[in-house]
Amino acid sequence: MNNRFKTLSKGIIDVSPLMIPVVPFGIIYGVIGMELGLSAYMTFGMSIIIFGGASQIVLLQLFSGGASSFVTITSVTAVNSRHLLYGAVFSEYLFHLKLRWKIILSYVLIDQAFAVSNIYFKKNKENKFKHYHLLGAGFTCWTIWQISTILGIVLGSVVPEELGLSFTISLTFLALLINDFRKYKNIIVMLVSGIVATIGYNTIPFQAYIIVATLSALSVATIITLIEQKKK
Amino acid sequence: MHWTTIIYCGILTYLTRFSMIFFLKKDILNEKTKKVLTYVPSAIFPAIIFPPIFLDATGSIDIDSNPKILAAIIAIIIGYFSKSIIATILVGLAFYWFLIFVYYQ
């Protein structure tokens, strides 16, 4: 029991610093949801049902542009496709667990939890209860995300529209990319995506510009990866 | 917005997290696929960032006296040097407010 509790606490402590940017992100999400005229229940419900910050904001943006549900669902899934990578990396550490553990841990396998638990798992392969680390980290993220969403919903009903807070969507996503600004290959991929989306915004039907831009940029990323491997 | 759309999004998002843990005993994604998946944020986020910055309300490209472009450039510079997510958002927003409420008034 002691070891379980220790590992769980370690997960909570490890992920805590990463929660600092999550709070304003959650608030921005809640505020924008309210500004776009969604009900408080729906804005909060999305945080519970989807539990993926970036994808929830994409959903709001597509909703405000009048996208169809098919395009919305496809775009949200595309944004979250990176979780396939997290699951694949963690399968090695979690495959022996009971199904109910897999069901619970999958729900909270998000960027921040992956980042800290991946480091912990690599160093503590022998710990029988290492999955408690992901449990602690994941549910810390979950709790913080829900609280900040609620804060945003409350603030959203009092913040005036003149402040132009919808610009924070662009700023928030820009901030999520700062670690890639130094990698020129990522910058190429970013430019392809941004330019295709800007041109396609009016020319691609059904608000599918996010999907088309993403696929174009990922094709370029694939080419870059293939060229890189040939060089080796 | 319908609840059904949200629920479908929720189910598919959950499956992106669950499927690999459920089906794989070991990590079988090859290095190439993994490398490409690490590009997913760089491939998606600019598609969300660019259009609201460069396009005006009517949807045409607006480059002259566009406060969002200037604020985004400042945010990129701050992000590049500080590597802080919060500083990037806050400085970008503060500069944007300065432009629309003070400079362009």
In-domain check, residue B34: no
The yes-or-no verdict on residue B27 having pLDDT over 70 is no
pLDDT tens-place string over residues B36-81: 888 888 998 899 899 989 988 777 888 888 899 999 999 999 999 9
Same domain, B57 and B99: yes
Residues B49, B13 within the same domain: no
Looking at residue A64, its pLDDT comes to 84
**What's the gap in Å between the CA of A201 and the closest CA on chain B?**
7
| Distance in angstroms (rounded) separating the CA atoms of residues A109 and B16 | 10
Contact A30, A157 (CB under 8 A): no
Q: What is the pLDDT along chain A (232 residues), one digit of tens a residue?
A: 689 999 999 999 999 888 887 888 899 899 999 988 899 999 999 999 999 988 998 899 888 888 889 989 998 998 888 888 888 888 888 988 999 999 999 999 998 898 889 889 988 988 899 999 999 999 999 999 999 999 999 998 887 777 777 788 788 889 888 888 889 999 999 999 999 999 998 888 777 888 899 899 999 999 999 998 888 7
**C-alpha pair distances (Å), B99 with each of A125, B43, B52, B58, B89:** 53, 29, 17, 21, 15
Q: CB contact, 8 Å: A153 with chain B?
A: no
Best residue of A43, A91, A211, A224 to probe chain B, by most B CBs closer than 10 Å: A91
* Same domain for B62 and B93: yes
Residues B39, B43, B48, B50, Cα dihedral to 10°: 120
> In terms of domains, do B23 and B66 share one?
no
In chain A, domain spans? 2-162, 177-232
- CA of A48: which chain B residue's CA is closest? B10
Residue B72, min C-alpha distance to chain A (Å): 7
Give yes or no: residues B58 and B94 share one domain. Answer: yes
Task: Give the whole-number percent of chain B exceeding pLDDT 90.
Answer: 45
Minimum distance, in Å, between the CA of residue A57 and any CA atom of chain B: 9
Interface of A with B in 126-145 (CB under 8 A): none
Q: Are residues B17 and B47 in the same domain?
A: no
Sign of the Cα torsion A202, B42, A145, B73 reads: negative
* Residue B70 maps to a domain: yes
Answer yes or no: is B46 within a domain: yes
Q: Determine contact, residues A221/B43, Cβ cutoff 8 Å.
A: yes
Cα separation, A166 vs A52, in Å, equals: 19
Are B46 and B69 contained in the same domain? yes
Residue numbers in A near B54 (CB within 8 A): 198
B21 and B51 share one domain: no
d(C-alpha A66, C-alpha A69), whole Å: 9
Distance, in angstroms, between A159 CA and closest chain B CA? 14
Distance CA B46, CA B31 (A): 25
- A141-194 pLDDT per residue, tens: 999 999 999 999 999 888 777 777 778 878 888 988 888 888 999 999 999 999
Pairwise CB contact (< 8 Å): A106 & B21 = yes
Judge if B46 and B19 occupy the same domain: no
Domain that holds residue B73: 39-103
Find the helix or strand (DSSP H, E) in which A25 lies.
Answer: helix A22-35
| Any domain includes B11 | yes
Asked if A221 and B14 come within 8 Å (Cβ–Cβ), the reply is: no
Q: Which residue's structure tokens are 């944020």?
A: B41
**Is residue B32 assigned to a domain?**
no
Note the helical H segments in A81-208. 83-94, 99-107, 111-123, 131-156, 167-176, 184-203
The predicted structure's pLDDT at residue B34? 82
* One domain for residues B50 and B97: yes
**Predicted ipTM?**
0.86
Q: Which of A19, A78, A115, A49 is nearest to A215 (CA)?
A: A78
Instruction: Tally the domains of chain B.
Output: 2
Structure tokens at A160: 């005036």
Is residue A64 less than 8 Å (CB to CB) from chain B? no
Q: Of B21, B54, B56, which to mutate for an interface test with A (greatest number of A Cβ within 10 Å)?
A: B21
- Tell me whether residue B33 is in a domain: no
Question: Does residue B83 fall inside a structural domain?
Answer: yes
Q: What is the C-alpha separation between A174 and B42, in angstroms, rounded?
A: 10
Q: Please state, in angstroms and as integers, the Cα–Cα distance from residue B32 to each residue in A191, B27, B38, B72, following that order.
A: 22, 13, 10, 32
Residues of A in contact with B61 (CB under 8 A): 198
- The DSSP call for residue B29 is S
Q: Which is it for the CA torsion A113, B15, B31, A58, positive or negative?
A: negative
